[in-house]
């Protein structure tokens, strides 16, 4: 058994010292590579970062997998894990204006799955297949890979990595504490040393490796921590099961429309499915004797396993609707990938639970098969063999060229900032398009440096049809000049959404805008903006935004008074009870320049 193999290694101090030294050397090498001067060569940056990731990943993998007498296989597998994680950087690259985290996550997941499978096989059956045929490999897999070993290795690795990191943080805190204590007596040697990055790297790497070695010598403690965590967490299974069953039961009555309106349906369903999957496995453990005997826990786990499929289907439907409305994007393709994996898992769990017999054993077998699927899919997605950016770019361009989307509605910003090199290349081609609008918008987006700014097509759309649909012009509807329309869509006047009213008479140099409060806010008030035309034709002005703040009970009367005053002002503007008057005020001048606020004439006093 894997646990027995680990227990037999207890009291091997050599491994702790070796891991401490290797950790320090690897961390120092990473620090030195990171400090290399920037050559400006893109592949140079990729190689440096890939080397850092390779060293870090392979070092941690070796520390987790090295057993007595098995340093060569552990080193080979650690190097493969490092090559997978580091290779992601070489395949995908990292640009300062475009970075997608998912390929890197996929690379680390595939490396982690490989490491866990190796640990499980090496602990139980540390030999290669006797026959290198499909049947021989299947026989070796049946002998070497047992679900309980795989589950144990995964949990042990997670706990070792987490606790080693905590230990490293404590070591660094102690080092800085001692440095400050010696500083109090005018001895700054340790303080000066800790200001050097290479010293910090040695301490961090040595502490992490040494902590991992110490913890591996006490595998029984790690195993006990895992089992305690499972026992504590499994009690949540019936609670979540009741909640999910109730949620799914009310959907036929509420309909799915409220879910689509949130815009967060897919991540919410996937998150719920992930938590449910975790709690199911907390209940069943990794072998028959770990399965809870509580009927409530077992029924809760079964309900959670069966709930996975409807959750995955709702997420799939939601993503399908978004793709149908807006086409493909890298984020939607990643979401679709997660949904496919989730659906495969859900089908496997439903098939295992719904059949008669030992459903727990069937889940163990399904989990092992799913681990292979996850590792293989993650490895493929970590490479550039399947480029979601290229696929999404082709789909969006096809939608534009087919007329499914108008040039003014096209997402030029997303293509330029979110679709990677294929998107940028497409925008550059569109800048030479025969369509004048497409060409204009594509040229404009290339001048944008900020991802969240408003591109030209969105500004024109916001000031055009979108504004006309929500703007009421008083006393009669009249054409508005472009500069006034632009000012109305600013955040402090009418904004980009919501109803708005404008009192404007052509020829006048001022206008009054009223933005009603949100209907759901009972204490909010209207925003009234007075705009005036400047010397250069630009519309300026300020708004009095009267948004009540809910405070102490004593403020209730003031809030109600302000709300009533704002409502009366808005009603007066709608009925035309407004006029522009010229008033005479006094202003203090110092050395010919105005100073302070104007003083009303009624405050004048006789000398």
pLDDT at 545 over 70: no
Among 337, 359, 382, give the residue marking a domain's end: 382
Name the average pLDDT for the chain: 85
State which residues form the domain around 509. Answer: 466-579
599 inside domain: no
pLDDT at 241 over 90: yes
307 inside domain: yes
H or E element in which residue 262 lies? helix 257-262
Count of domains observed in the chain: 4
My answer on whether 322 and 420 are in the same domain is: no
Confidence of residue 199 (pLDDT cuts 50, 70, 90): very high
My answer on whether 416 and 325 are in the same domain is: no
pLDDT at 232 over 80: yes
Question: Please, which contacts does 320-326 make with residues 24 or more away whose CB atoms are closer than 8 Å?
Answer: 321/260, 322/266, 326/411
Yes or no: say if 56 and 208 are a contact pair by the CB < 8 Å rule: no
My answer on whether 293 and 338 are in the same domain is: yes
When pLDDT is averaged across residues 201-214 and rounded to a whole number, the result is 95
Confidence of residue 546 (pLDDT cuts 50, 70, 90): very low
418 inside domain: yes
Question: Please, which contacts does 83-87 make with residues 24 or more away whose CB atoms are closer than 8 Å?
Answer: 83/54, 83/58, 84/57, 84/110, 84/111, 84/114, 84/379, 84/382, 85/53, 85/54, 85/57, 85/111, 86/50, 86/51, 86/52, 86/53, 86/54, 86/57, 87/50, 87/382, 87/383
Confidence of residue 132 (pLDDT cuts 50, 70, 90): low
Among 200, 226, 252, give the residue marking a domain's end: 226
354 inside domain: yes
408 inside domain: yes
pLDDT in tens, 508-524: 888 988 888 777 776 67
343 inside domain: yes
pLDDT in tens, 422-437: 999 999 999 999 999 9
591 inside domain: no
Q: Which residues pair with 533 in a beta bridge?
A: 539
pTM of the model: 0.80
pLDDT at 269 over 60: yes
My answer on whether 401 and 428 are in the same domain is: yes
My answer on whether 116 and 86 are in the same domain is: yes
When pLDDT is averaged across residues 36-62 and rounded to a whole number, the result is 88
Among 461, 491, 510, give the residue marking a domain's end: 461
pLDDT at 5: 44
Yes or no: say if 160 and 381 are a contact pair by the CB < 8 Å rule: no
- Token readout for 210 is 């040494």
Confidence of residue 458 (pLDDT cuts 50, 70, 90): confident
396 inside domain: yes
């Amino acid at each position: 058994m894997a646990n027995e193999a680990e227990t037999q290694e207890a009291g091997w101090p050599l491994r702790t010292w070796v891991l401490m030294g290797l950790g320090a050397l690897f961390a120092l090498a990473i620090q030195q590579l990171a400090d290399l001067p920037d050559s400006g060569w893109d592949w140079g940056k990729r190689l440096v970062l890939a080397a850092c990731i390779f060293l870090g990943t392979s070092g941690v993998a070796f520390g987790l997998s090295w057993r007595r007498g098995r340093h060569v296989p552990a080193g080979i597998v650690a190097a493969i894990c490092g090559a997978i994680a580091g290779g992601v950087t070489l395949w995908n690259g990292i640009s300062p204006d475009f970075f997608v985290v998912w390929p890197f996550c996929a690379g680390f997941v595939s490396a982690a799955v490989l490491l866990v499978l190796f640990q499980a096989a090496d602990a139980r059956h540390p030999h290669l297949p006797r026959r290198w045929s499909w049947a021989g490999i299947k026989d070796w897999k049946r002998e070497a890979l047992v679900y309980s070993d795989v589950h144990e290795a995964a949990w042990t690795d997670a706990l070792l990595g987490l606790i080693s990191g905590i230990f490293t943080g404590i070591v660094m805190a102690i080092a800085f504490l001692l440095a400050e204590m010696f500083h109090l007596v005018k001895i700054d040697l340790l303080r000066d040393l800790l200001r050097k990055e290479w010293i910090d790297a040695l301490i961090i790497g040595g502490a992490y490796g040494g902590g991992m070695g110490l913890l591996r010598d006490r595998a029984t403690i790690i195993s006990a921590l895992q089992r305690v965590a499972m026992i504590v967490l499994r009690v949540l299974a019936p609670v979540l099961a009741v909640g999910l069953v109730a949620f799914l039961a009310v959907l036929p009555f509420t309909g799915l429309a409220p879910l689509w309106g949130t815009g967060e349906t897919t991540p919410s369903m996937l998150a719920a499915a992930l938590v449910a999957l975790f709690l199911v496995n907390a209940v069943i453990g990794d072998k028959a004797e770990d399965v809870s005997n509580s009927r409530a826990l077992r029924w809760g786990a079964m309900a959670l396993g069966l709930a996975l499929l409807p959750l995955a289907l709702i997420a799939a439907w939601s993503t399908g609707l978004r793709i149908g409305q807006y086409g493909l994007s890298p984020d939607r393709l990643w979401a679709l990938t997660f949904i496919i994996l989730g659906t495969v898992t859900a089908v496997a769990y439903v098939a295992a639970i719904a059949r008669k017999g030992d459903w727990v054993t069937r889940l163990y077998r399904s989990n092992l098969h799913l681990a292979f699927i996850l590792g293989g899919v993650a490895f493929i997605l970590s490479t550039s063999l399947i480029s979601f950016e290229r696929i999404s770019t082709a789909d969006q361009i096809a939608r534009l060229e087919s007329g499914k989307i108008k040039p003014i509605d096209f997402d030029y910003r997303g293509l330029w900032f979110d679709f990677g090199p294929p998107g940028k290349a497409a925008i550059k081609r569109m800048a030479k398009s025969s369509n004048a609008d497409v060409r204009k918008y594509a040229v404009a987006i290339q001048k944008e440096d900020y991802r969240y700014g408003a591109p030209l097509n969105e500004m024109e759309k916001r000031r055009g049809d979108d504004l006309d649909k929500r703007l009421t012009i008083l006393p009669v509807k009249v054409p508005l000049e472009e500069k006034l329309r632009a000012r109305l869509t600013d955040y402090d006047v009418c904004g980009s959404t919501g109803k708005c009213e404008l009192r404007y008479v052509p020829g006048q140099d001022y206008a009054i805008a009223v933005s009603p409060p949100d209907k759901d806010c009972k204490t909010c008030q209207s925003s009234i903006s007075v705009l005036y035309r400047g010397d250069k034709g630009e519309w300026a002005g300020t708004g009095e935004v009267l948004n009540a703040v809910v405070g102490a009970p004593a403020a209730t009367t003031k809030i109600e008074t302000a709300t009533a005053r704002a409502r009366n002002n808005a009603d007066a503007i709608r009925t035309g009870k407004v006029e522009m008057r010229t008033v005479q005020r006094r202003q203090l001048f110092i050395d010919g320049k105005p100073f302070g606020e104007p003083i009303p004439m009624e405050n004048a006093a006789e000398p």
